[in-house]
Structure 1
């Protein structure tokens, strides 16, 4: 009895085919047949197959005219005699025990029709390792897992070569691969996933997937018009199968959600110049979607917007692409304040506060050209950001999708951690992207501006390529060894050994930078990227820029980059060791408000509104479209933080003082100011009131710290 039929489509793989066949012939399970379908391969595959067939009669050769993998696999299924079916691509290869282990597993679990096993990803000389591969093939479950319609498309990858199928199951439902179409794996996946109740996930790497140019994941970024339209032909076949087998009601929501996601992705595979193809694709999708009622699907706002726009044939996705995004950055004004941000979807709400502060302090005498570099944003986020400057004709906000730009560079190995994503490195590309500008001002997303930003933009930086302010926390800690002496000593050593950075006193903060584009571009971009690859700890691109421009930058006053956390990261006032006298005033007297307040470190005003200058951030946050979102997030954090500390013995006065903290703090500084400009009884009165509030504020801070 043949236990497993291994089906192998063969086309143009002469250099990989012998290893593939050897791996199957050397399986520890011997009761197998190997069905090889030669899809009219133009190389020497036919001769290789014949030679191997002479050596082992278990190899069966089928020859067909070139019809694609789907047709080849179907021919194999038609003649397969095994109890179970496995598919293998002819450039991949099995581990020796693959067939035996999967056969035994299926024999032990008679109620399982499909089981999935793990794979090794092997890269040939033409491919770099990509994180998307590991994420795509990663199995998130172990053992027997129930298939729920709502999560079917996310349960397992669509590939057939890392699975084993019960032949009787395939025969019962007459399952097949779509022929002469790309995405045949996707069609076959939906055909079988909607028929099974359970899948077994076997967490062992039993096959080896060769990642090479022309392989599955290698092709998904190089779509031709035909392959893109094939995707939607396959979708129509899936829909017909769901209706035919009375599965549409169960799977309709998840199918439409996956369909809409695919629309947005594949439309963007067309270049901007291929408008007619985009239009044709949306017409096809509109014809398909118009037969359904939107009320029948559980769609989110983004999906609903996409759905309605497509069925109304307003070409929303293409128009949005033109309206919000730019492909080449040209100056929009002859003379303007040019500002650049870098953000992703997680940080865009906080960026809105920064932009709001710029808009609130702008004047009609200046034009403001704002460009946001991003890798992933929702359309509603873009609309929210644009609404901030709606009433200001002299302020332009545009979006530049970095995915369309950085794909030619390998950024996969750059150091990222937690909330700091790859977008942090986008500022390294500023010289390339803004080559037609003379000067730009780069700003981080976690700051507010309290003056007209044009004052900073127009500062003369002389012969220097960039201007930046001292990083008062890091630079001081490097000199005084900070609050964690061992860590800072290690950081000094790390910067020297990895990036050849020695001037500890001049370490600058890259969150506020004036950049002279021509002078910036005198430094090789390849050198910047090399530094980025060598940096694998600490402060991401800031380390890179410090190493690249060591002792070659104009030192801005920290009035333009006041880092609010410096006092919290000092020992016995060590932040005073090298701060300029004009800057010390800001740290000693909070009645003075800096021009830019930079909320550095993990402490953020949207997390804790009780810190110094947090009230100024909230002043601008109230004016943004994201204000209610901030309140909701803060409410959740506050309840989690404060509730465990409240018990029956706590004086309710302290609870009221916590609630009134911001107001009391404001009045404290008001009374402090009034006590300086009044005399006699009134001065005593204000001093007394200030003293009372100071005591309340102190008690609140103690309470929140759990003391």
Structure 2
């Protein structure tokens, strides 16, 4: 059962308060044949020393220290030296359940999956726990059906819920010049090299949503990277899987709707007024028949509401669509 080796890549940047707990959750995995690759991305707190101390205690831990280049560069540095049969990811301020990688490995083996997936629970600072997992076990036996669901947004985009067979990732890297949605682009790129996919929707990873984290900070220009990468996904899809062109266009539409929503929620509309107008114009010009064909009910409501009236859209977000 433990014959295959799993490389777990952990980017580290100024997270001294949470790092030991996170790495302990990996050290204590029930699946033992792992290597834990810590990439210190130019931390200025005690994170580098903590990484080195942990490596002395467990020979399975490797540490890379590099100047600050961003999370994508850190992950890519880890991928470069990983020698496992499978690759997984964990953020250094989150935790994995002790059986997470055994759980994922068993899915990969039993379903012969190139990418095996679990789900995530979100813990807020006030103690609230959000868990929308379903317990569903789903297998995709072909690439196009998986990509269709992925582009629709019904597959979690995060790398930390997935185990990738290493050979499908040999030429896949995170986009280092982009600061958001790099996870989704990596998963999409890896999926292009895969043939079979499987998920068991059980929460095996804990994502801590803290004050000051990138998930709740004020809107900044970096979030437009989401639209840029959605454009890239659309371009690649039209080239490699033209039958999914409309799906990819709707993926961009979903992204635009969510970024505009984020601009409203995080005080970005006035600061980036011309960009906001550009996003609204994109929504208004989008083919309604294609939107109806591929969007989820929630995204379709956002689509028609924003086309109809910005004040109505803001009202809906404020009272009915906060998350």
Same fold (TM over 0.5): yes
Cα displacement string for residues 366-399 of structure 1 (whole angstroms, at most 9, x for unaligned residues): xxxxxxxxx979349958xxxxxxxxxxxxxx85
Tell me, yes or no, if structure 1 residue 167 matches structure 2 residue 166: yes
SS in 1 for 2:172: coil
CA offset digits 1:516-563 (Å, max 9, x no partner): xxxxxxxxxxxxxxxxxxxxxxxxxxxxxxxxxxxxxxxxxxxxxxxx
Shift of 1:206: 2.6
1: distance between equivalents of 2:196 and 2:79?
22
CA distance in 2: counterparts of 1:140 and 1:177, whole angstroms: 30
Return the offset for 1:217. 4.4
Asked whether the equivalents of residues 116 and 200 of structure 1 are also in contact (C-alpha less than 8 Å), the reply is: yes
- 219, 222, 234: which is aligned to 1:223? 219
Q: Which residue of 2 aligns with 1:185?
A: 183
The aligned runs of 1:132-147 (5 Å cut-off) are 133-135=130-132, 138-139=133-134, 141-146=136-141
- How big is the shift at 1:54? 1.1
1:414-429 matched pairs, under 5 angstroms:
none
TM-aligned CA deviation for residue 57 of structure 1: 1.8
- Number of matched residues? 307
Matches within 5 A, 1:666-705: none
Q: By how many angstroms is 1:258 displaced? A: 2.0
Shift of 1:238: 2.0
Question: Equivalents in 2 of 1:269, 1:204: separation in Å?
Answer: 28
Paired with 1:152 and 1:302, the residues of 2 have a C-alpha distance of 12
The change in CA–CA distance for 1:190 and 1:140 in structure 2 (over 3 A counts) is farther
TM-superposed deviation, 1:96:
2.0
The alpha-carbon deviation at position 282 of structure 1 amounts to: 5.3
Equivalent in the alignment of 2:204: 206
C-alpha deviation, 1:50, in angstroms? 0.9
Could you list the runs of 5+ residues in structure 1 that have no partner in the other structure? 304-344, 346-374, 384-397, 413-707
* 1:100 matched residue in structure 2: 102
Greater Rg over alpha carbons, structure: 1
Q: Would the alpha carbon gap of residues 42 and 240 (structure 1) be closer, same or farther in structure 2, given more than 3 Å must change? A: farther
Q: CA deviation at 1:143?
A: 3.9
Contact 2:305 2:312 in 1 (8 A): no
Write out per-residue CA displacement over residues 639-683 of structure 1, whole angstroms, 9 at most, x where no aligned residue. xxxxxxxxxxxxxxxxxxxxxxxxxxxxxxxxxxxxxxxxxxxxx
Q: Taking structure 2 as the reference length, what is the TM-score of the superposition?
A: 0.79
In structure 2, the partner of 1:14 is: 16
* Corresponding residue for residue 464 of structure 1: none
| Cα deviation, residue 32, structure 1 | 1.1
Report how far residue 14 of structure 1 moved.
Answer: 0.9
2:51 corresponds to which of 49, 52, 57? 49
Contact 1:28 1:97 in 2 (8 A): yes
Match of 2:236 among 231, 235, 241: 241
Q: Distance in 2 between matches of 1:43 and 1:99?
A: 29
Sort the Cα spacing of 1:208 and 1:169 in 2 relative to 1 into closer, same or farther, 3 A. Answer: same
Q: 2:121 corresponds to which residue?
A: 120
Aligned to 2:36: 34
Does the C-alpha gap of structure 1 residues 198 and 46 become closer, same or farther in structure 2, counting only changes over 3 Å?
same
Q: Provide the TM-score with structure 1 as the length reference.
A: 0.39
Q: CA shift at 1:230, angstroms?
A: 1.4
SS at match of 2:232: helix
Q: Tell me the distance in 1 between the aligned counterparts of 2:287 and 2:203.
A: 42
Tell me the residue number matched to 2:304. 378
Consecutive unaligned residues in structure 2, runs of 5 or more = none
CA distance, structure 1, for counterparts of residue 105 and residue 237 of structure 2: 30
Distance across 2 between alignment mates of 1:260 and 1:238 = 12
In the alignment, the residues of structure 2 paired with residue 197 and residue 119 of structure 1 have an alpha-carbon distance, to the nearest angstrom, of: 24
Kept in 1, the 8 Å contact 2:257–2:302? The answer is: no
Distance 1:274 1:28, change over 3 A: closer
Q: Distance in 1 between matches of 2:215 and 2:230?
A: 19
Partner of 1:264: 257
Q: Distance in 1 between matches of 2:313 and 2:138?
A: 44
Task: Tell me: CA distance 1:124–1:280, structure 2 relative to 1, closer, same or farther (3 Å).
Answer: closer
Q: Which of residues 3, 6, 23 in structure 2 aligns to 1:4?
A: 6
- Could you tell me how far 1:45 is from its partner in structure 2? 0.5
Match of 1:561 in 2: none
Q: 1:52 Cα shift?
A: 0.7
In 2, Cα distance between the equivalents of 1:103 and 1:231? Answer: 30
CA RMSD of aligned residues (A): 3.7
Give the match's secondary structure for 2:159: coil
Q: Is the 8 A contact 1:2 1:33 kept in 2?
A: no
CA gap of 1:302–1:7, structure 2 versus 1, over 3 A, is closer
Post-superposition Cα deviations, 1:159-187, rounded to whole Å, max 9, x if no partner, equal 1101101001112xx12211132211121
* Closer, same or farther: CA 162–231 of 1 in aligned 2, 3 Å: same
Deviates more, 1:2-11 or 1:116-125: 116-125
Structure 1 residues 378 and 41, CA, compared in 2 at 3 Å: closer, same or farther?
Answer: same
